[in-house]
Amino acid sequence: MISLMMLSGCISKTIDEKIKDEEKNPEEYVWEDDGELVIVTYDVTGLTDSMINEFENQTGYDVSLTKLEDAGSILNHLLIYKGVQVSDLAIGLDNTYLQTAIDNGVLWEHFANFSNISEEALIPYEGPLAVPFDQGHICLNYDTEIVDGVNMTVPTSLWNLTEDEWKGKVAIPSPETSSPGRAFMTATVDYFDNDPDNQTDWTDWWTDMSDNDVIITTGWSEAYETHYTGGYGEYMPGYVGDAHIVVSYCHSPGVESWYNGNWTKSAALDLPRASFHQVEYAAAVEGGNLGAASAFIEYLLSQEVNVNMPTENFMYSVLEGTDLPEDGGYRYHSIIPTQAAEINSTQIASSMENWLQDWNEAMVAA
Amino acid sequence: MLICTKLEKSFDKELFSNFSLSLNPGEIVAITGPSGCGKTTLLRCICGLETLDSGQILLDDIDITSKPAEERGIGLIFQKPVLYPHLNVEKNLKLGSKDGDFAAALEEVNLSGFETRDVATLSGGEGQRLALARALLAKPSVLLLDEPFSSIDADLSEKLVRDVRSILKERNCPAILVTHNITIADSFADSVISLA
Amino acid sequence: MINKYVARSSVIIYSLLIIVPLWLALDRLIWVAGYDVIGWIESLERNYISQGVLEFTLIQATLSVVLTLALGIPIAWQLGRYKWPFQSLIKSLLTMPFVMPSIVAAMGFMTLIGENGLDIRSERDTWFATLIIAHAWFNLSLVIRFCEPVLSTLDPSMEEQLRLLPSGRTKLGRIRHLWVPLLMPSIAAAACMTFVFSFTSFALVELITLGEDTLESMMANVGSSAGIKGVMVSKNEVILGASLIQFSILLVSLWLMSWLQQRRQNLLPVASENVVKRNNITGWLIVLPALIFAILPLIAIMISSFRIRETNSTGSTQYWSTEGWEYAFTATKSLPSAWDALQNSLGYAIITLAIALPLGWMLAQTIRDLEQVKPRIARILDVFTMLPFAVSSVMIGLGVMLGMIKINPQFFYSFWLTPVIAHVMITTPFVVRIILPALRSLDPSYDECGQTLGMSKFKRFFLIKIPMLRGSIIISSIFILAMSMGEFGASWVVTRNSDWTTLPVIIDSIRAIPYNNPLIVPAANAVSTVLMMIALLLFISTEKFRPKRDGGMF
């Protein structure tokens, strides 16, 4: 094994250079329409069989889904197969993952036609390489039955979560793999930049959280379903229920209520700058079937499909003039944060890799 | 006719050198010597299972010194009967010759009616008779025997020696027997060579 | 004897198959992470995702060994020393867990501690204990298979003699002077193997312990982000560090095991056919619970596949139904059906057989031929063919993924046979390990006699050699099929990056579907039942061909 390592790195370097030489030019690219659309995504609920079958009937394309773990896996997939992509459309990168994909040139311009996208959805990115299809605000959610002011107090600052009371009771998905997790981490950058304490910054908080046995999961569903006590997880096998606060969406309590028939014990925590405006994107992958990808984007953004985002996909629609439904207390139990974190896309683009490294070091430092 | 000239072989120590022998048709020769002196190796060299260091072997005027064992046409009876456990008596015989008169072959060695027997049920003597029948079915030009009687009871082996000799003489098949037992050598062979 | 060219080409093919993907994977990782061996190892502590993983792996593996021995030795004792009705059936049942695919074992224990069982899943403290118990369940068979034959065939005069001597008058004395020295090599070998299996355990760790990783499961999880230049560089260091450590530990264990196996074969006492054993009624107190323990998880899986449990804010209902089975066997856009996975698995298994069996045979024959002329080179080749043992299944998967798929994704991603490469890597060493001793024990006279009868090489091979080694060939074949169908670690890594899925992997995919769907658990258990049945079938076939006395590995 040692002797093999002597030749380290040469082959991959050669192949990498070869791929660079052969890199296709988007302008000269003549895409082939083989009638197939391969979508790489994570478990986006909205992509149901009936929704896809409808698209197939309308357009005649043959759709297949490559389901990966989370947004991080989608990004890795695109980066690994750079220059030799195996999919046509990527659904599920959000505004904390998108820039890396763009910078690496794995996304190409689509030619979908659509209109009526709200301005809010276009704030993080409005270029031709990716199209928003849903959005929401990342928030902390807490279990009101336990965090009721008597047994446990509702946090008024993120520092509360580093206290003994919350030891081992906070669940957060990892920013390295999960998009809500990364969004939340980004929010903490802004939160601690603007808190009254000038001597500590966001990495200190994470170190204290690590000391305080914060539960870090790979994805959102593990954090919400397995650990969080305030959600539907308790009805699922494998439920552990050791966390009373979790990173989720400001409208998650609304979803809970809608499912339960107008009741929920989960509430969103509205702390200034502790929430993040997340937009999720559909993007055409380089060198793929641009025609099919564009057709699907149009479908996803069409009135019939996109207005159903809240009920099919549990996220806000990106179309102008839409809102959460009222039934089942969906809108009632959802909040719009008073002040979301103010980190813009340029900052994300330039700092995300460093933030991830700092986060990793902060977690280990405990 | 088998002519061996100046055969030589060493294995750490010298086993035999300058060994020469000529075997006339129908002649039976015995080679004796104490254990470990190289008699078995000599036999294996003649039939091609081992290679000589130097020397020449001619069989019916053809030089077979460098031919592989399966092409020499020389048969070998091993010390313990080599019977294939996955084949019955008749199928073992088939290995010697695909179509031959198996009934006659078995009768020759006094094993009539044994065709369907399981070879695991055969005694030592019966096994060697089967090995002989099989080897003869292959119509060897010379038959070599590597102490085949040593694993068999004394009284039974006496009879076996006599029977085998008469079968070989009837067929006019030249043979070389290797043994450490002088008595057997004398009763089996026409002439005895000592390899001491 | 093998033709020189055949021998050389088999070694070359094997090297290509085994070495090249691993080498390419290493090459890629080093390309991203840089060449700094100390740095790699240190990175394990410098990364959140790998912190504490090595300690956890060592601790759980060690405890697994302790528990396995503690449970296994009394059972082996009972079976070896006393007479039992249905002896071989009992032995078979107790060794059955070992042949179960790891994902089936994992699902079994998940079900046992879940709502259909003890319902202790929600307490974190139970996970670690469950993992250890699951490992013991899996590896008990090793202790039994290694120790029982020794106990069973011991010449009774050895014990009788000792009882009449001063140092053997007490039970303790006999334990010290007879049983321990007698069994020590077998126990040590079983302990080594248990350690290796527990150390590289993947399915059980992934499913049972949430949030805790062993080196193996961590590498699997991090694997998909590796190999990308400039992104998550530290992850590549972590993989390099982890695989280096794992490789070293496995190599040491392998060496230890082969040394012990040699010692065992030299020290095996006089075997006696005339051992008369007594019945032991009280022994049932040990054997009966052991039997129940052995089959419990499997029964749990079968039952659970027909139970649907619906829970919501108003309460929960449970009922019997085959809906879970239907769900599993229906394809959706998101997930292929278990039918597709089953077909893939069967196809892969058969093709793996077609490649690994001849390849393993040729390698074994080559080693055997070399043993007689150049023993030192033979030894080197022997160790060389065992290399995949020191590389865990996840590492092999990473090798195929990083070393092949990422080098030429357009081909390998859609190439149906890509997982087969991993399967061949994993099964070929076993073929060598089974065929080589058989070749060694084949009396050369058989082949020589064939030569003197004028049979050509070709004829001797097909009419003599193959029929006489029929038992080993059949066992190797069944082994290959079983290992290929049940293989989880490498397939998990590879199928995530390719278009095809296998039965074990789809069990995990179904199980991991998020959102509340009461059909998920029954569906996953349904597919597990299918896999379990296949493994059982193959296992029963092996039992028919197993030689009576085995001091060997299986």
C466 touches chain B (CB under 8 A): no
Half-sphere exposure of C263 (CA within 13 A, CB side): 15
* pLDDT tens, position by position, B106-145: 999 989 999 999 998 999 889 999 999 999 998 899 999 9
Record the tokens describing residue C122, joined without a space. 């929600």
What are B57's strand-pairing partners?
Answer: B4
Tally C-beta pairs within 8 A across B and C.
57
A207 falls in which pLDDT band (50, 70, 90)? very high
Collect all residues of chain A within an 8 Å Cβ-Cβ radius of residue C309: 237
Instruction: Name the residue with tokens 């009396």.
Output: C443
Q: Which chains touch B (3 or more CB pairs under 8 A)?
A: C
**A226·C225 Cβ contact <8 A:** no
Segment A307-359, tens digit of pLDDT: 999 999 999 999 999 999 999 999 999 999 999 999 988 899 889 989 999 99
Smallest Cβ distance to C227: which of A67, A80, A356?
Answer: A80
Please indicate whether, in this complex, the C-beta atoms of A5 and C229 are within 8 angstroms of each other. Answer: no
How many Å lie between the alpha carbon of C450 and the closest alpha carbon of chain B?
A: 8
Domains within chain B, CATH numbers bracketed: 2-194 (3.40.50.300)
**Count, residues in chain C:** 554
Distance CA C7, CA C518 (A): 55
Smallest CA–CA distance, residue A165 to chain C, in Å, is: 19
What are the structural domains, with CATH classification, of chain C? 36-147+165-262+279-295 (1.10.3720.10)
Measure CA of the first residue to CA of the last residue in chain C; give whole Å: 27
Q: Is the pLDDT of residue C167 over 70?
A: yes
ipTM: 0.87
Q: How far apart are CA C18 and CA C395, in angstroms?
A: 12
Q: Where does residue B33 rank: exposed (0-12), middle (13-18), buried (19+ CB within 10 A)?
A: middle
Average pLDDT over residues A171-179: 94
- Comparing CB atoms, the residue among C443, C455, C468 nearest residue B95 is C455
Do the Cβ atoms of A238 and C49 come within 8 Å? no
C451: which chain B residues are within 8 Å (Cβ-Cβ)? 48-49, 68-70
What pTM was estimated for this model as a whole? Answer: 0.86
Q: What is the DSSP letter of B17?
A: E
As a dihedral over the C-alpha atoms of residue C453, residue C459, residue C461, residue C462, rounded to 10 degrees, the angle is -130
Cα separation of B90 and C343, whole Å? 44
Q: Which residue of B has its CA nearest to C455?
A: B70
* Residue C549 pLDDT class (50, 70, 90 cuts): very low
Cβ-defined contact of B71 to C454 (cutoff 8 Å): yes
Edge-first strand order for the sheet with B13-23 is B13-23, B2-11, B54-59, B62-63
Which residues of chain A lie closer than 8 angstroms to C413, CB-CB?
81, 86
Sequence letter at residue C253 = S
Q: Do C313 and A16 touch (CB under 8 A)?
A: no
Nearest-CA neighbor of A90 among A113, A108, A103, A104?
A108
- CA distances, A51 to each of A44, A45, A93, A212, C277 (Å): 12, 11, 20, 44, 70
Least Cα separation, residue B71 to chain C (angstroms): 6
In A, which residues are within 8 Å of C334 by CB distance?
Answer: 43, 47, 49, 65, 67
pLDDT category of residue A8 using cuts at 50, 70 and 90: low
C179 or C64: whose pLDDT is higher? C64
The band of C264, judged by pLDDT with boundaries at 50, 70 and 90, is low
Q: How far is CA C154 from the centre of its chain?
A: 29
Q: Does C458 touch chain B (CB under 8 A)?
A: no
Q: DSSP per residue over C477-531, as a string?
A: HHHHHHHHHH--HHHHHHHTTSS---HHHHHHHHHT--S--TTHHHHHHHHHHHH
Contacts for C307-312: CB closer than 8 Å, 24+ residues apart:
C307/C116, C307/C522, C308/C518, C308/C519, C308/C522, C309/A237, C309/C115, C309/C116, C309/C518, C309/C521, C310/C518, C311/A234, C311/A235, C311/A236, C311/C518, C312/A232, C312/A235, C312/A260, C312/C516
pLDDT band at B196 (very low <50, low <70, confident <90, very high): low
Tens-place pLDDT, residues C480-520? 999 999 999 999 888 776 678 899 999 999 998 888 888 99
Containing C353, the helix (H) or strand (E) segment is helix C338-373
Tell me how far apart the alpha carbons of residues A191 and B6 are, in angstroms, rounded to a whole number: 101
Q: Which of A232, A235, A358 to mutate to test the interface with C (most CBs of C within 10 A)?
A: A235
For residue C22 the two structure tokens come to 């691993």
Q: Read off the pLDDT band of A7 (50, 70, 90).
A: low
Tell me phi and psi for residue A30, to 5 degrees: -110, 105
Domains with residue ranges and CATH for chain A = 23-136+279-325 (3.40.190.10), 137-277+328-364 (3.40.190.10)
Taking alpha carbons only, the member of C307, C257, C239, C223 closest to residue C519 is C307
A43 vs A182, higher pLDDT: A182
C235, C239, C241, C243 alpha-carbon torsion, rounded to 10°: 170
CB contact under 8 A, A76 and C228: yes
Give pLDDT, residue C290.
93
Supply the DSSP symbol for A319: B
- In order of C200, C276, C469, the CA distances from C249 in angstroms are 10, 43, 34
Closest residue, chain A, to C522 (C-alpha): A237
Average pLDDT over residues A34-41: 92
Query: How does pLDDT run across C277-311, given as a tens digit for each residue?
Result: 778 888 888 899 999 999 999 999 999 999 998 88
Poorest-confidence range of A43-52, A160-169, A302-311, C163-172?
A: C163-172
DSSP three-state, residue B109 = coil
C440/chain B closest Cα distance in angstroms:
17
In A104-151, alpha helices (H): 119-122
CA distances B15 to B4, B52, C21, Å, are: 16, 11, 51
H-run or E-run covering A282:
strand A276-284
Residues in chain C closer than 8 A to B86 (CB atoms): 467-468, 470
Touching, C vs A (3+ Cβ pairs under 8 A): yes
List, for residues C33-71, the tens digit of each pLDDT value.
888 888 888 888 889 989 899 999 999 999 999 999 999
Is B167 in contact with B136 (CB distance < 8 Å)?
A: yes
Task: Give the C-alpha separation, A57 to C319, whole Å.
Answer: 37
